[in-house]
Homo-oligomer: A and B are copies of this chain.
């Protein structure tokens, strides 16, 4: 048995993100770690030297749980199954393995079950776009605009394949011939929700469909929550378009924050419950996003369109900018009164505004750029 095969077996034994299994596999390697499970299943003696009492107990309990699911040939069945789906398995170290997952540490998936393109190149520049299943037409409209803009800028759209925002995100990326990746909570043999099966097939065909659990695994509530950590880890930025206060999208945002990934939220009407989770994120420090340009700014770290140097403008610069005529220029002296500022302050502000491209000078007179 090699590492790939052992990781396939591990992914069928553990619940997603199990840190005890993660620690065991990281320290012994997948093959030797799996051997402990097999020996536990056979009731062979298993020695766990060098562990504290607490760790020893947790590993022991883990081994006993995994041993109950252990079957020497189960992994082969899973591998044949994914091959029958024209899919494959990618493991850490493979060129197709997305580096972002390594930030999950011990909660890193054992392997990725893949249908479609190699994840790593697709995800080199990726934004996770998530939101409510119960999206409003406003939320779907904004999602479509955002994701079309991301596709145009060659950024891959990562989402969860669910109804509402997720589905619109994939659809908009596909329509704009962009890359898109759907991460499922269950096995790839059962696209969930079933009503999105055709959409998910299209994602597999033009992008990639990913799962960390083998074919045949049911998508349960806690697998959904843990699937969210993969969505957060696969995008360099996470965007929440619409989310109620209890939306799973907020768990994705929480994972992204824990992973030190920037989180952005799209505002909406304060009268809309579907935006209340986004407003909560905004109060909590998420970046307010209103366009694909704003998302790309977060992704690439360069300021978007007209917002260029505005964050650099102080109150003084703003007051002078407000008072600055659009057409005919004015002498700086003409700005002191309307601005309530002394001439040196006006001159300093004009200098800053000129540097940021918002004011232009011509023959000693100033106007807006």
Chain A residues with a Cβ under 8 A of chain B: 15-20, 58, 107, 138, 141-142, 222, 225-226, 229, 245, 248, 250-251, 254-255, 257-258, 266-271, 275-276, 279-280, 282-284, 287-291, 294, 306-307, 310-311, 314-316, 318-319, 322-323, 336-343
Q: In the bound complex, what is the Cα–Cα distance between A343 and B257 (angstroms)?
A: 21
- A19/B229 contact (C-beta < 8 A), A141-B271, A258-B315, A270-B291 known: no
Q: In the bound complex, what is the Cα–Cα distance between A294 and B142 (angstroms)?
A: 26
CB distance from A63 to the nearest CB of B (A): 15
B291 touches A225 (CB 8 A): no
Listed by A's residue number, 26 A-B pairs whose Cβ atoms lie within 8 Å are: A15-B337, A16-B340, A18-B340, A58-B342, A107-B340, A138-B269, A142-B270, A142-B271, A225-B319, A225-B322, A225-B323, A229-B340, A245-B306, A250-B322, A251-B319, A251-B322, A254-B322, A266-B270, A267-B267, A267-B268, A267-B279, A268-B269, A270-B291, A276-B290, A284-B310, A284-B311
User: Which residues of the other chain, B, contact A319 by a CB distance below 8 angstroms?
Assistant: 225, 251, 254-255, 258
Beyond A138-B271, A268-B269, 16 additional contacts (C-beta under 8 Å) are A19-B336, A19-B342, A58-B343, A226-B338, A226-B340, A245-B306, A251-B318, A266-B270, A267-B269, A267-B270, A268-B268, A270-B290, A279-B290, A282-B282, A283-B288, A283-B307
CB distance from A278 to the nearest CB of B (A): 8
Q: In the bound complex, what is the Cα–Cα distance between A267 and B280 (angstroms)?
A: 11
B343 touches A255 (CB 8 A): no
Q: In the bound complex, what is the Cα–Cα distance between A172 and B270 (angstroms)?
A: 18
Q: In the bound complex, what is the Cα–Cα distance between A107 and B345 (angstroms)?
A: 14
User: Which residues of the other chain, B, contact A267 by a CB distance below 8 angstroms?
Assistant: 267-270, 275, 279, 282, 288
Q: Smallest CB-CB separation from A270: which chain B residue?
A: B290
Q: In the bound complex, what is the Cα–Cα distance between A270 and B229 (angstroms)?
A: 28
CB distance from A100 to the nearest CB of B (A): 16
Q: In the bound complex, what is the Cα–Cα distance between A20 and B248 (angstroms)?
A: 58
User: Which residues of the other chain, B, contact A338 by a CB distance below 8 angstroms?
Assistant: 15, 222, 225-226
CB distance from A342 to the nearest CB of B (A): 5
Q: In the bound complex, what is the Cα–Cα distance between A284 and B225 (angstroms)?
A: 32
- A17/B340 contact (C-beta < 8 A), A268-B267, A288-B288 known: yes
Q: Smallest CB-CB separation from A221: which chain B residue?
A: B338
